[in-house]
Structures are given as structure tokens and as C-alpha cells.
């Protein structure tokens, strides 16, 4: 085996870990400060944008244009009483918010802000660190963050919190698999899982153009991973009060709030890195201006793309309603996962045929025809079935003229003519205790 083809792929990674300690510490502080400031700014943007969408004013009292509203909310949460219910598991109850917030900060460490620059005479990359499997680190940290949500619901000793935690675990399993599958095609084209090398592989054409189906799958799954509308089922204020953080207050609740908005920023930055060329300038600017991708200017392009994704999140929250939980599961397991697997097989086949010297135009035409046939067959199948998944067949319903039999294996619904028990002694309403069973009749209370 010839090792020379893999040597160029390792060059961008050789510069990481050689910086002086003060430079590494400075990068960590900058990343931490950037995330905190972005959370405050995102909260203000979200309230102003949704207020404009819903013909409301939005925050306009704390600071000019309400810019200090997020800071005021943070001070308010810090000064509120920290209420801990009596029956909770206190150790897990306290550690759960930390388990949600810390992985959110760690995930951003592998995001590249820009190319190599000179800082006080030291040549360094505008990135805290990088790994040969950097994208897998983000998936691992998002999985650990879900533990905080699940343990928060379990330790609260509340049925609403427990249901929110269980929903979060099921949602993570459903959508993180599809998210990981959407990365596979990017790895095939870039030849690496390193974020800096993925950005370098997009020097001439962004992956959003080459891998549009993967980008669409990632956008849907990142909404599911962020637990925001329309996929905010773990909170579900309409049916679960507040979901997994119902029993939390003060700084513990603030840490869940912080983790949600940091994940929002991390998912937007990861989409920018994997599909939108990372810190590289958009097409018109990069062709007209030769120095657009050098120096400190790439930070501007990176931030513009990240905040464009954040605006997309806010736009969806102000537009779409919350989906039903069965719809959420069906979309993840029956649509996104099979589609992602089929797309990966198609991309791998195209890459293999291109390496063998086949005409790419014919390959693309055959692939488009195959995709159209599969899509048409899926639509016809759903029309022929007539939506049988939405029908619920209850045993014994036919014998009762369409009425479901409560004792035939469905929900344990008591019959309508059963005696109603109430009062201290638990006797049936309007019935004597000494009445024989065959003479018991239901009361009217």
C-alpha cells in the first residue's frame, strides 16, 4: 500500500497543539466569550424578529432598542429563589444542568473561524483545536447533552418531567442517526472528518451544491436536535407544563436555557463548516476580491453565515406549529433514515463509477431517473394504502356496531354504565352498601 496519498490530508492538522499555552488559553477564552455574547444577541434578535412577524413591538425598555434585555434576564434568573423539590434526587438534580451546558461549550472547540493568521508574531489557525475525527466529537457531545435532559426529567420525581426526558431520549435516537448519515456523503467528498480539511475541500465549490439532499436532511435533523419549535416535544408546554425542566428555577434553569442557545449556535456553525464553505467568502466576493479569504476578513463571512442560520431557526419558530409526537417519530424513522441510506449508496456508486472513468453526465442522468422512479413508487404506494397507518383497528368494534369494546384489548376504558365511586367510604353513588351485585345501578351524581 502506498502511503503517499494520505500525506497531504494530514498537513492541516500538524499545526494544532504546537501553540504556546497563552495562545491556546486565549483562544479558549475568546470561544467562551463569543458563545455567551452570541446567546445574549440571539435572544434579542429572536424577540425582535418574532415581535415584528407577529406585529408586536418586542423588547424596547432595557437599554437602547431593548439590547440589554438578555442581560436583564440573566440577572433576574441569578437572583431568583433556587427551589428544590423535597423528593428529588439532589445529586443528579444539580448535575443535570451542568451535563447539558458543558458539552455545548466543548462542541464549538473544533469549529474553524478563519485561516492562519499572525497573533503577536505567532502563526496560528483561527480555531481552538482540530482532530482527525472532529465531526464525531460534535455528535458525541450532543449525545452527552441529552443525558442532562433525561436525568433532569428522571431526578425531578415529576410525571411531566419524566415524560419530557423520555421524549428527549427517543427524539435524540431518531434524529441523531439521520444526522450522522447526512455527514457520510461529506466525508466521502472531503476525504476526511477534520473540520479544517472539510473547509479546505470546498475551495472551489461548496458541498451544499454537490450534496443538496444531505444538506436538507441535516437542516431537518438539526431542528430535531435543538429541541425547538416545531420539534420542541421534550418541553411541550401545552401538555407537559414545562417538560424536563418543570421543577427547575434560578441558575439551574438558566443553564438549560444557555445550553439550548449554544447548541443553536453550534449547529449553525457546523452547517456552515460542512456545507457552506466554512469561513470562505461567497461566490461574487471571492472572484472579485483576491484577498477575501485571507487575513481576518473570513471571520466576517463565517459570522454572516452563522447568523443567517440562526435567523432561519427563529423564522421557523415564529411560523410553524408544534408537530405531533407520532409525526415526529414517523419523519425520523420512516423518511429521513431510509432516504439517507439510499442517498449514501447513490453517492458511493457515483464516486466509484467516476473513479473508473465513466461519463459523469450519463451517471447523473441515470441517478436522477432512479431517484424519480423511487419517489414515484413511494407516492403510489402511499396512495394505494390509503393512509392505513392513520387508522386504528380496535378488536370487537364490528360486533358492537362500530363502538369499541373497552375489554377487547384496547385502552382500559371503564364502561359508561359502571357505578361511580366517591365519598369517604368509596361506595357507589346512590347505592346502598348492602345491595347485592346484581341489583347495583349507577347513580346520577
pLDDT in tens, 54-90: 888 888 888 888 888 888 888 888 888 878 887 788 8
Could you tell me if residue 425 is inside a domain?
no
Helices (H), 356-427: 360-385
* Alpha-carbon dihedral sign for residues 181, 278, 43, 148: positive
pLDDT, residue 305, reads 92
- 419 domain-assigned: no
> How far is residue 187's CA from residue 223's CA, in Å, rounded to a whole number?
22
DSSP code of 399?
G
Residue 166: CB partners within 8 Å, gap ≥ 6?
150, 153
pLDDT at 211: 86
CA distances from 78 to 73, 81, 83 (A): 9, 8, 12
Say how far apart CA 430 and CA 419 lie, in whole Å. Answer: 9
Q: State whether 375 and 284 are in the same domain.
A: no
What range defines the domain where residue 317 resides? Answer: 81-356
Residue 411 lies in a domain: no
* Co-location of 364 and 282 in the same domain: no
Neighbours of 16 (CB within 10 A): 18
CA-based radius of gyration for the chain:
28
Distance CA 369, CA 374 (A): 9
The list of the chain residues with pLDDT below 70 reads: 1-17, 234, 236-239, 241, 360, 364, 375, 378-379, 382, 385-445
- How confident is the model at residue 269, as a pLDDT? 92
Q: Say if residue 191 is in the same domain as residue 318.
A: yes
pLDDT of residue 20: 82
Residues 171 and 319 occupy one common structural domain: yes
Residue 125 to residue 118: CA distance in whole angstroms: 9
pTM: 0.77
Nearest-angstrom CA–CA distance, 302 and 328: 31
152 and 227 within one domain: yes
184-240: pLDDT as tens digits? 989 988 888 889 889 988 888 888 888 888 898 899 888 877 777 787 776 766 667
324, 377: one domain: no
Instruction: Give the separation between CA 18 and CA 21, rounded to whole angstroms.
Output: 9
The total of structural domains in the chain comes to 2
Question: Does residue 141 lie in a domain region?
Answer: yes
Would residue 313 count as lying in a domain? yes
In a domain, 111, yes or no: yes
For the beta carbon of residue 20, count every other beta carbon within 10 angstroms: 11
Amino acid at each position: 500500500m502506498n502511503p503517499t496519498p494520505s500525506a497531504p490530508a494530514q498537513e492541516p492538522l500538524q499545526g494544532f497543539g504546537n501553540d504556546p499555552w497563552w495562545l491556546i488559553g486565549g483562544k479558549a477564552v475568546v470561544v467562551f466569550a463569543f458563545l455567551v455574547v452570541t446567546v445574549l444577541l440571539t435572544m434579542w434578535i429572536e424577540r425582535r424578529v418574532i415581535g415584528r412577524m407577529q406585529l408586536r413591538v418586542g423588547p424596547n425598555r432595557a437599554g437602547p432598542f431593548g439590547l440589554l434585555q438578555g442581560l436583564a434576564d440573566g440577572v433576574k434568573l441569578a437572583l431568583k429563589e433556587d427551589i428544590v423539590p423535597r423528593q428529588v434526587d439532589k445529586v443528579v438534580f444539580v448535575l443535570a444542568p451542568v451535563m447539558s451546558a458543558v458539552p455545548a461549550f466543548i462542541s464549538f472547540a473544533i469549529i474553524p473561524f478563519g485561516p492562519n493568521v499572525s497573533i503577536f508574531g505567532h502563526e496560528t489557525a483561527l480555531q481552538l483545536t482540530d482532530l482527525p475525527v472532529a465531526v464525531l466529537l460534535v455528535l458525541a457531545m450532543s449525545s452527552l447533552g441529552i443525558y442532562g435532559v433525561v436525568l433532569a426529567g428522571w431526578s425531578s420525581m415529576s410525571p411531566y418531567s419524566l415524560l419530557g426526558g423520555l421524549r428527549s431520549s427517543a427524539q435524540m435516537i431518531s434524529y441523531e442517526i439521520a444526522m450522522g448519515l447526512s455527514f457520510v456523503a461529506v466525508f466521502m467528498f472531503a476525504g476526511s472528518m477534520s473540520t479544517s480539511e472539510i473547509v479546505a475541500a470546498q475551495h472551489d465549490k461548496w458541498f451544499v451544491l454537490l450534496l443538496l439532499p444531505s444538506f436538507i436532511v441535516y437542516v431537518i435533523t438539526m431542528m430535531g436536535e435543538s429541541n425547538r419549535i416545531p420539534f420542541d416535544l421534550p418541553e411541550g408546554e401545552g401538555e407537559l407544563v414545562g417538560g424536563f425542566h418543570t421543577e427547575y428555577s434560578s441558575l439551574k434553569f438558566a443553564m438549560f436555557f444557555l445550553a439550548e442557545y449554544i447548541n443553536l449556535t453550534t449547529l449553525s456553525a457546523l452547517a456552515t463548516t460542512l456545507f457552506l464553505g466554512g469561513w470562505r467568502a461567497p461566490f461574487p466576493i471571492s472572484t472579485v476580491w483576491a484577498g477575501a479569504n485571507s487575513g481576518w476578513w473570513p471571520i466576517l463571512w463565517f459570522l454572516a453565515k452563522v447568523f443567517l442560520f440562526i435567523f432561519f431557526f427563529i423564522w421557523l419558530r415564529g411560523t410553524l406549529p408544534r408537530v405531533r409526537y407520532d409525526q415526529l417519530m414517523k419523519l425520523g424513522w420512516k423518511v429521513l433514515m431510509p432516504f439517507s441510506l439510499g442517498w449514501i449508496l447513490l453517492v458511493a456508486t457515483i464516486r466509484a463509477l467516476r473513479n473508473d472513468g465513466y461519463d459523469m453526465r450519463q451517471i447523473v442522468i441515470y441517478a436522477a431517473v432512479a431517484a424519480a422512479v423511487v419517489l414515484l413508487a413511494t407516492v403510489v404506494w402511499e396512495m394505494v394504502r390509503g393512509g392505513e397507518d392513520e387508522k386504528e383497528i380496535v378488536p370487537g368494534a364490528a360486533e358492537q356496531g362500530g363502538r369499541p369494546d373497552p375489554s377487547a384489548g384496547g385502552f382500559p376504558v371503564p364502561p359508561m354504565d359502571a357505578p361511580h365511586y366517591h365519598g369517604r367510604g368509596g361506595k357507589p353513588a346512590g347505592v346502598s352498601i348492602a345491595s347485592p351485585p346484581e341489583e347495583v345501578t349507577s347513580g346520577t351524581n
